[in-house]
Amino acid sequence: MGEPFEPKVVAFCCHYCAYSAADLAGSMRMEYSPNVRIVKLECTGKVDTIHLLQALAEGADAAFVAG
């Protein structure tokens, strides 16, 4: 049947909140799925809908904003 489906996920993360949490997880040697790509932003309030749509247009299966 082939390999199981592994979605490509793009996460737009706030520098001060969600990105810091992901960085701390890395410092603690915790792992998250390699199919998740994190985009560090100064503020998630600056994310425009076009950024999410562009991620999907370029092959991501999911895109989300974490603040």
The predicted-structure confidence for 35-55, as pLDDT tens digits, reads as follows 999 898 898 888 899 999 999
Res. 18: pLDDT tops 90: no
Residue 1 lies in a domain: no
Residue 41 lies in a domain: yes
Res. 1: pLDDT tops 80: no
Residue 3 lies in a domain: no
Residue 2 lies in a domain: no
27-62 residues labelled b (16+ CB within 10 A) or e (exposed): eeeeeeeeeeebeebeebeebeeeebeebeeeebee
pLDDT band at 62 (very low <50, low <70, confident <90, very high): very high
Q: Which domain holds residue 42?
A: 9-66
pTM, rounded to two decimals: 0.81
Residue 4 lies in a domain: no
Distances from the Cα of 20 to the Cαs of 2, 24, 29, 38, in angstroms?
36, 6, 14, 11
Domain count, the chain: 1
